[in-house]
Amino acid sequence: MHVLWDPITRDAWDAFHDAHAGAMQQAWVYGDALKAMGVRIHRAVIVDDGVTLGIAQFMCRRIAGYLSVASCTRGPVWSSATTPSQRHTAYQQLKKDIPTSALRVTLFSPDQTQDSFSADEGQGLWRVMTGYSTVLLDLAQPADALRAALDGKWRNRLVKAEAETKVNVVTNASIPKLRWLLDRETDQRTTKNFHGLPTLFVEAYLAAAQSPVHAFALSRAEKDGQTLAAMLFLLHGRGATYHVGWADDAGRQLNAHNLLLWRSALYLKDKGVTQLDLGGVNTQHLPGISRFKLGTGGRVVTLTGTYF
């Protein structure tokens, strides 16, 4: 087994990432967006007997000018044919060969649950942080199955929103509307003390993508010429990840986000997206948002954590 650093073409990376349902944080466009914001990115390809076993994208930074910290978030992306023993060897090789300074910390946050991250592959790694939970919607299933899986109260709110005949839903890749939503997001982060990736990241993500329709989908609810609510999804191959949402008082009263998420899921499904990641859930600190995501009937996944 050997590891090749930064040798792969974007097309080859995207093909492997797409074929093995990689998370957004391991997508080429995600790395390029961070590079445009000054983050150092290293990409590795793990090969054994001419067969690609996995890919790993690291976000790197320096602390105090001399300590290098490299983070592989929700990665590596593995071929389904890899064994725990092979993954163990790969982790050790990646830590040994990553092209950063000798004084370094290399972190892995596998896109695996605790049950699927075996003791064999994790041998020699120490967990330094517990994993976070997210909700995954399987868009490969029929639309009627998706609807049937909705929580009863969630579905009732959707039905109520669908009955508002004056509300029009538009889902597309409108850049002006994207920038309008990012302005609303900036405002609500200030007033509600939200945190997350800088809004400039979305602009960098758009610039790194092949085209706007490959970068994002924005769904908005409009009534009498006014936008009541909007939701933004970032695209990465056959996957999509919820990024930000906004609603005014009227939009919240009309349950606009239920309608937007449902229509967005159908839109993304029609575009060939097979998995929608609704992002982190934290019932303790964000109970309302978490209940909303859980109400979709998606699969709750708690990742194994971060390892050194």
Q: Rounded to an integer, what distance in angstroms lies between the CA atom of residue 238 and that of residue 273?
A: 4
Helix 10-19, helix 28-36: angle, nearest 10: 130
Residue 168 Cα distances to 32, 44, 79, 229, 264, angstroms: 35, 45, 42, 11, 13
Rounded to an integer, what is the distance from CA 141 to the centroid of its chain?
20
The residue assigned the tokens 């990736």 is 197
**Residue 307 falls within a domain, yes or no?**
no
3-state class (DSSP) for residue 211 = coil
Are 277 and 24 contacting, i.e. CB atoms less than 8 angstroms apart?
A: yes
**Residue 25 falls within a domain, yes or no?**
yes
- Looking at the structure, tell me whether residues 102 and 169 fall in a common domain: no
Average pLDDT, consecutive stretches of 10 residues, N- to C-terminus, the chain (308 residues): 93 97 98 97 96 98 89 98 96 96 94 94 96 96 98 98 97 97 93 83 97 97 97 97 97 98 98 96 85 97 97
Residue 101 is predicted with a pLDDT of 87
Residue 52 Cα distances to 7, 12, 13, 139, 259, angstroms: 13, 11, 11, 27, 41
pTM of the model: 0.96
Residue 193 neighbours by CB under 8 Å, 6+ apart? none
Residue 193 is predicted with a pLDDT of 76
Residue 12 is predicted with a pLDDT of 96
Tell me the residue range of the domain where 17 lies: 2-125
Residue 93 is predicted with a pLDDT of 97
Residue 285 is predicted with a pLDDT of 74
What tokens does 96 get?
A: 């040994």
- Looking at the structure, tell me whether residues 187 and 270 fall in a common domain: yes
Residue 191 is predicted with a pLDDT of 84
**Residue 83 falls within a domain, yes or no?**
yes
